[in-house]
Every structure is written in C-alpha cells, then in structure tokens.
C-alpha cells in the first residue's frame, strides 16, 4: 500500500533517504534480535533443571526439619533457633546486554548456622540447616537469572515487533510509494515531451507557412 505523498522529485529524494535509513535500522535491529536470542538461549541452558534441583534439595531439607520438629518440643526448637549464628549478605549490580541493563546478585553466608547446643538437638536439624545454608546462594542466583530471562523475553518481543513493522509495513510502503512517484514523474515527463513535440510541430508549420508567403512570387500565387 502506497503512502500519501506528492509526486515531486523532492518528495522522491526524501522517500529514498527514509528508505535507506529504514533498511539500515532494520539490519541493526535484526542483529540486536539475534544477539538477544543468543543471550536468551544461554540463560535458558543455565536454568534448565536448576529450579527442579533446588526444589528437590529444599524438599529434602524441609523433611529433615519436620523430623527434627517432631523429635523436639516447641520451646526447645524455638530456643535453638532464637539466635542465628550465620549472616547472609547479598550484593547487587548490573550488567549490559545490548541496550538492556540486567541485574546481578551475589550472596555469601558467613558464620555457623548451628549456633546451639548439640546435646538436646537432633541430627536432622543440623542437616536441614546446613542444606538451607548451601542452597541460599543458589536461590539468589536463580532469582537473578530468572529476572534476566524475563527482561530479555520482554526486550525480544519489543524488538521483534519493530523488526516486523519495518520489514512488513514501513519498508514495503516506502518502496511502493517510490515506485508510484517514479511512474507519475515518468508519465508527466512523457506528457511534457509530447506537448513539446506538438509545439515544435506547430512552430515548424507556422515557420514554413511564413517562409512560403515571404518567397518571391508568393503574392501572385495567392492571387491566382
């Protein structure tokens, strides 16, 4: 479908410039989309099975914790967990993928999670807390990667829409309009050429008539 445009050479030059910019923009966006897809596939490969493994480890730790809770009294369990001996520190940053800013999280756990007496606490509680300590950094890293996947997916969708808009709407419309203007200009040029040829024929006919009248003996020819 052609755009609404005037059939002038200035408009034709302007549309050709827009077409060149649109083609370059389409190539840049296509390259960006390819890089985003590559980064997206890398993250998906890292995430594949990571959540399931973490959920299995946490489920095992929760079972151990339930066994420990069943073996202890409620006040004894609360007293054992009242004062935490380990401290988790989470630092955040960013990294750039194309024009997208992705979050980066880092978690470290310092101290001993078993900050209680060993006499009146079961081994299941030790095992559960140790699993929690080990998986916490992995949980934070999983959250970082899942957020990055979510942001990349949104940017991929937006970039794909722009690429499709350029490839299937703007660029074809510009090319159709340029062809239309070229046809109109060619038609106008042919019309002008035809008019010039007719004017030339009329001028030549008038000149021939003038020369014939001005020739010696032309008056006698007219009288006869």
110 is a domain residue: yes
121 is a domain residue: yes
Tell me: the pLDDT tens digits for 188-198? 888 888 888 88
pLDDT for residue 222:
46
pLDDT for residue 49:
80
20 is a domain residue: yes
196 is a domain residue: no
199 is a domain residue: no
User: The domain containing residue 73 runs over which residues?
Assistant: 9-173
- Written as one string, the DSSP assignment of 101-137 is EEEEEEEEEEE-S--S-SSSS-HHHHHHHHHHHHHHH
Cα 123 vs. chain centroid, distance in angstroms? 52
207 is a domain residue: no
Task: Give the CATH number of the domain where residue 124 resides.
Answer: 1.10.287.3240
Dihedral sign of CA atoms 51, 54, 59, 62 in order? negative
Cα 43 vs. chain centroid, distance in angstroms? 17
How many domains, in total, are found in the chain? 1
216 is a domain residue: no
Q: Which pTM does this prediction carry?
A: 0.69
Cα 106 vs. chain centroid, distance in angstroms? 27
CB atoms within 10 A of CB 153: 14
Tell me how far CA of residue 81 lies from CA of 52, 59, 118, 135, 217, in angstroms.
Answer: 28, 20, 13, 18, 136
Tell me: the pLDDT tens digits for 116-129? 777 777 888 888 88
Q: For residues 116 and 88, what is the distance between their CA atoms, to the nearest angstrom?
A: 18
CB atoms within 10 A of CB 183: 11
212 is a domain residue: no
Tell me: the pLDDT tens digits for 2-56? 567 777 888 889 999 999 999 999 999 999 999 999 989 988 888 888 888 888 8
pLDDT at 220 over 60: no
């Amino acid at each position: 479908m052609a755009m609404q445009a005037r059939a002038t050479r200035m408009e034709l030059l302007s549309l050709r410039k827009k077409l060149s910019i649109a083609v370059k923009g389409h190539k840049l966006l296509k390259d960006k989309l390819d890089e985003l897809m590559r980064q997206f596939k890398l993250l998906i490969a890292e995430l594949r099975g990571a959540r399931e493994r973490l959920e299995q480890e946490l489920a095992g730790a929760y079972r151990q914790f339930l066994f420990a809770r069943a073996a202890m009294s409620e006040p004894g369990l609360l007293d054992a967990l009242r004062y935490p001996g380990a401290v988790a520190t989470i630092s955040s940053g960013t990294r750039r993928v194309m024009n997208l800013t992705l979050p980066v999280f880092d978690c470290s756990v310092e101290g001993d999670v078993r900050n209680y007496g060993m006499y009146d606490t079961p081994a299941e509680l030790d095992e559960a807390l140790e699993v929690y300590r080990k998986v916490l950094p992995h949980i934070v890293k999983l959250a970082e990667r899942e957020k990055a996947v979510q942001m990349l997916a949104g940017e991929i969708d937006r970039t794909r829409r722009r690429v499709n808009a350029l490839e299937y709407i703007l660029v074809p419309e510009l090319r159709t309009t340029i062809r239309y203007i070229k046809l109109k200009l060619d038609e106008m040029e042919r019309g002008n050429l035809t008019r010039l040829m007719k004017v030339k024929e009329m001028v030549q006919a008038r000149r021939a008539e003038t020369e014939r009248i001005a020739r010696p003996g032309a008056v006698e020819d007219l009288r006869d």
